[in-house]
Chains A and B, each alone.
Chain A
Amino acid sequence: MTKLAFERPIIQRINAGLPSKYGMSHRLEPLSHIDGTPIKDLIGEFGSPLFVLSESTIRKTYKEAHRAFSSRYPNVQFAWSYKTNYLNAVCNVFHQEGAWAEVVSGFEYDKAIANGVPGELILFNGPDKSTEDLQKAIRNNSLIHLDHFDELYEIIHLSKEMTERPKVAIRVNMDTGIYPKWDRFGFNYENGEAWDALNRIMANKNLDLMGLHTHIGTYMMSVDAYRIAAGKLADLAIKLERKHGHVLKYIDMGGGFASKNTLRGAYYPGTDTAPSFDDFAEAITSVLMSSDIKPDHLPMLILETGRAMIDDAGYLVGTVIANKRLADGRRATILDAGVNLLFTAFWYEHDVRPVQPVSDQTEDTTLYGPLCMNIDVIRGNVMFPLLKKGDQYVIKRVGAYNNTQWMQFITLRPNVVMLDSKGNPHLIRKREVLETINSQEVMPEHLKQFKL
């Protein structure tokens, strides 16, 4: 006779009468497959924990974003934000879809070049561009987005030494009615600094002013802020044409679109509150189309959105290490992936699911990572099914920033696989081994020996 499946015994206090915005108890559906591939098999083949990226989701999301803008505006170009996820395979999916590269350091610039992106299709942002970086970008005809006057003066200086003409844009910061106001990058609009910088560029005969750039914030929930920003950039473009007769090639609205992840402390889930690509597109393009920019002079609209493009495509799967009970009686479940791998756990209430259907019963649980650190909390106080040691879990929407901000701390970083359009896994970043870390270290001769 086959035995029945066993479920851990639990008892839960009934909080009758307490108001609940959800009404019914929340049941977490298991997620056993990604793009038709069993998570259990992926862990079996590539180990646990494991990052899994879905190529189809990246392509689908890109197409959705592109359609939202290109159906409203005649000339749209996306540039992949390398810092959001610069695993080469991820970058190349975006490049295959037609995205240029948007980089913010010499390292990222070199990565884009190594991936085969033509220099003239690289947008070079960021406050830290070394002289060598700038020389390289000028030689490659890359689009250099100036962040401050020191950079402008350095470019002017380099333009006198080099034969190539630097192609530049300025980054503009502004009040878009949101808090916090991002005013540390670029030139300010309201105090006239941006207009001043544009005039200085126009006065210099060695520079080609190509466009205007802004990046108003991150995880933006308000499309109105983009409407205001687009209006201010359009005003600068109109003033440039009026005063200098100069027609800009592009307006770059940056990124910062919210993904569907839920911010910590948010009242409603991100799936309900994040504006859609259509919402952002409508806000930006309607302002540009109805501005005083002449129809035949409408600049190319560039978008550098990262988070909203890749978050949904990433999953972190792994295994439960142990369960324990905390001093106040709540359950603690220890996962084999911690905040060293899932940096975004500091910002988001990540959607964590069991892989196998385990139980309809849930318990107030804190999900900890494996690090010997008190801050290693993946989710605090979540009603979670009763997973036991060895059970598998999956964390959704981890594609943005985790593969770039993860840390080699206490444990080594795991394998990353990408599932192709047929669901076949491809290893795109190998797990680290002791040698990966030790190969970068140098032992002074006098420290090589010791006796204990």
Chain B
Amino acid sequence: MPEMVFVALIVGLKQTYCKNTMVKIKKNIAISDSGFVFDPGSGDSYSLNPSGLEIVQMIKLGKDFSAILEAVTEKYEVDSGSFERYYYDFIATLAQLHLTEPDGKD
């Protein structure tokens, strides 16, 4: 019984951590398999490069930074330090274009 409480606590902590570091793409944003992005709110459309599309798809699946980092560094020739820089720069750009939910509303 105490073990179950401990596991629940750990899961809860992990969820809290994930929630704090997770980005959410706005629900109404349409993203095609070729990287075409349409924002019906503003009428603007965008294009993602292949790595941008891959990351956005992982974000949509609910993956957090560490999961994305693991998936990317396993597949591509990039070190975690560099990827972290590109990732947060990319996320900042998505936020600037109003494609992500504002902080605290995910």
Binding site for B on A (CB under 8 A): 3-14, 16, 323, 325, 329, 359, 361, 388
Asked, given contacts A325-B92, A329-B96, whether A12 binds B75 with beta carbons under 8 Å apart, the answer is no
- For the complex, give the distance between the alpha carbons of A329 and B46 in Å: 14
* CB < 8 Å neighbour of B46 from A9, A13, A323: A13
* A to B CB contacts below 8 Å, 24 in the list: A3-B76, A4-B75, A4-B77, A6-B51, A6-B72, A6-B76, A6-B78, A8-B51, A9-B55, A9-B86, A10-B93, A11-B47, A11-B49, A11-B52, A11-B97, A11-B99, A13-B44, A13-B97, A14-B44, A14-B47, A16-B45, A325-B93, A329-B97, A359-B49
B48 engages A10 (CB within 8 Å) = yes
Q: How far is the CB of B32 from chain A (nearest CB, A)?
A: 12
Contact at A10–B49, with CB atoms within 8 Å? yes
Given the complex of chains A and B, what is the CA–CA distance between A13 and B46 in angstroms? 4
Asked if B65 is an interface residue, CB under 8 A from chain A, the answer is no
Cβ-closest chain A residue relative to B55: A9
B77 touches A11 (CB 8 A): no
**How far in angstroms is the closest Cβ of chain A from B90?**
4
- A residues less than 8 Å from B90 (CB atoms): 8-11
Please indicate the chain B residues that have their CB under 8 angstroms from the CB of A14 in the complex: 44-47
CB within 8 Å of A: which B22-58 residues: 37, 44-52, 54-55
Give min CB distance, B30 to chain A, whole Å.
13
Chain A residue contacts of B18, Cβ below 8 A: none
In the assembled complex, the CB of A305 is this many whole angstroms from the nearest CB of chain B, namely 44
Give, as a whole number of angstroms, the nearest-CB distance from B81 to chain A. Answer: 11
Chain A nearest CB, measured from B102 CB (Å): 16
> What's the Cα separation between A4 and B87 when bound, in Å?
17
- State whether B87 touches A9 (Cβ < 8 A): yes
- Cβ–Cβ contact B82 & A5, under 8 A: no
CA distance A406 to B39 in the complex (A): 48
Q: Is B89 an interface residue (CB 8 A)?
A: yes
Partner of A10, one of B45, B52, B76: B52
In the complex, what distance in Å separates the CA atom of A348 from the CA atom of B47? 31
Q: Which residues of A contact B92 (CB under 8 A)?
A: 325
Given contacts A3-B75, A4-B75, contact A9 B52 (CB under 8 A): yes
Q: How many Å lie between the Cα of A329 and that of B89 in the bound state?
A: 10
A393 smallest CB distance to B (angstroms): 18
B21 to chain A, nearest CB (A): 17
Are B75 and A11 touching (Cβ within 8 A)? Answer: no
Measured between beta carbons, the chain B residues less than 8 angstroms from A5 are 76-77
Among candidates B45, B54, B89, residue contacting A325 with C-beta atoms closer than 8 Å? B89
Specify which chain A residues have a CB less than 8 angstroms from the CB of B37 in the assembled complex. Answer: 11
Q: Which 5 A-B pairs have the closest CB atoms?
A: A9-B52, A6-B76, A6-B78, A3-B77, A9-B90
Cα of A6 to Cα of B77 in the assembled complex, Å? 6
Chain B residues with Cβ under 8 A from A329's Cβ? 93, 96-97
Nearest CB in chain A to that of B79: its residue: A6
Do B46 and A12 have beta carbons less than 8 Å apart? yes
B99 to chain A, nearest CB (A): 8
Chain B residue at smallest Cβ distance from A390: B82
Query: How far, in angstroms, from A325 to B90 measured CA to CA in the complex?
Result: 10
Alpha-carbon distance A104/B8, docked complex (angstroms): 84
Taking the closest CB of chain B, its distance from the CB of A75, in whole angstroms, is 60
Q: How far is the CA of A367 from the CA of B92 in the complex (A)?
A: 20
- The residue that A9 contacts in the complex, of B45, B51, B96, B99, with Cβ under 8 A, is B51
Q: Whole-angstrom distance between the alpha carbons of A7 and B99 in the complex? A: 21
Contacting residues, chain A, for B96 (C-beta < 8 A): 329
Within 8 Å CB of B83, what residues of A? Answer: 6
Please name the residue on chain A nearest to B82 by beta carbon: A388
Q: Looking at the complex, which one of B46, B86, B87 makes contact with A11 (CB distance below 8 Å)?
A: B46
